[in-house]
Amino acid sequence: MNGTETGSATLAELCDLISEQVHPADVPEALYVGLEHVTPGRLRRSGGGIAADVQSHKYAFRRNDILYGKLRPYLDKAILADTDGVCTTELLVLRAKPGVDPRFLACLVHDPDFVEHALTGVTGAHHPRTSWAHIAQFERPRFSFEEQRTIAGLLWRTQDLLRVCEDTIEAAQKLKLVAMRELFTRGLRGEPQRETEFGPVPDSWVSSPLDECAEVQTGAAKGRRFSDGETVEVPYLRVANVQDGHLDLSEMKKIKIRRSEIDRYRLKPGDVVLTEGGDFDKLGRGFIWRGELDLCVHQNHVFAVRTDRGRLLPDFFAYLAQSAYGKAYFLKVAHKTTNLACINSTKLKAFPAVFPPTLDEQREIVAVLDAIDRKIDLHRKKRAVLEELFKALLHKLMTGEIRVDELDLSVLDRVESEAEEVVA
């Protein structure tokens, strides 16, 4: 393998900007790529449409061109085209010059330093865009074609492992939906059903308004002014932390409350936390607080449901809220606007909870769904590790700080082996 060539190269020396425009009506069957088909931080497109479904002039691209998102460059959107097609003019079409590996070029424009460089050249307050004139000046060490291929091969291998993780997560999430549909309509043993306003449920299950088998706790409002009382800053659970079927605690912020309010807003292990609103398909979004922090409160846009564990297990209710039955209730009673919907505490307290009369049956149902959730969580963690590995390798390889032949690839080999076992 040849070593790194001397000197540096600008992006303009590595690729050309292609601005060939075409009207979709002239190529109606062509692949169309919009920003919505480009996932941040990924090298391949995540979807596509057809040209017949869009209007106005688009850019034409060829296989192995790089499609780079100039709008909001902090989103880090750039892919390698896997076929010919047309794309939105919010994507710049970059074509590798002779002697430049297109896969290497696709990785280069994901370099964190490149993203930062692009951001320094944005214009427009509401729709910030960078420009070719600006990003063309970005410099990196000049690599031989052979070393470009080797670097690209390693980085694309890491992205392939990421894709395996994401495919596994998606498959497990689909399995969970099927399992919930069966368990919450037919029970553990395929028993007879009875119809309710929100779908069929097992005939033997009992029904109760939520406020008769649980307490609903509202949270602390942000931005309050305090004229009296001693205040403290404590971690709090935000809407962004509460996802559908899991909690994302990677970034915990703090809120100021009165010290006397700590017990009023404090989360307790086993609380089911639910957001009050969001997209229509995300109503009832939430999961279980396991006491991950010793002291944590929740904001007023997140409810905490504390079940009577002698009647209704918190884990069971968390899954019930995620199920088609739960989402049907939330959607029916929610206050809706054009794109969003929300519920209040009164609606939540009136939730018609249905559940097996015995805690043992509730536990069995929870065990089935928990096993799937554990698999999903495992692969989310693997995905996070691979994403960090990709970013670290990308930066160090592109700057020449490390060379491929200096790397210990045993960790990547092990992750790849595990991924193959999962697929098998």
103: left (phi over 0), alpha (psi -120 to 50) or beta: alpha
Residues 207, 208, 209, 213, CA torsion sign: negative
- The per-residue pLDDT for 410 is 60
If one counts every other C-beta atom within 10 angstroms of the C-beta of residue 87, the result is 29
Q: How many CA atoms lie within 13 A of 71 on its CB side?
A: 10
Q: What is the DSSP letter of 128?
A: -
If one counts every other C-beta atom within 10 angstroms of the C-beta of residue 260, the result is 11
- The per-residue pLDDT for 423 is 40
What value, to the nearest 5°, has the Cα angle with vertex 238 and ends 235 and 240?
A: 130
With a CB cutoff of 8 Å and minimum separation 6, the contacts of 288 are 247, 270, 271, 272, 273, 314, 315, 318
pLDDT per residue, tens digit, the chain (424 aa), is 344 556 899 999 999 999 999 999 999 999 999 999 999 999 999 999 999 999 999 999 999 999 999 999 999 999 999 999 999 999 999 999 999 999 999 999 999 999 999 999 999 989 999 999 999 999 999 999 999 999 999 999 999 999 999 999 999 999 999 999 999 999 999 999 999 999 999 999 999 999 999 999 999 999 888 876 789 999 999 999 999 889 999 999 999 999 999 999 999 999 999 999 877 766 778 999 999 999 999 999 999 999 999 999 999 999 999 999 999 999 999 998 877 889 999 999 999 999 999 999 999 999 999 999 999 999 999 999 899 989 999 999 999 888 877 766 565 565 555 544 544 4
| Domains parsed from the chain with CATH numbers | 8-142 (3.90.220.20), 144-203+356-424 (1.10.287.1120), 206-355 (3.90.220.20)
Continuous segment of H or E residues that includes residue 330:
helix 324-333
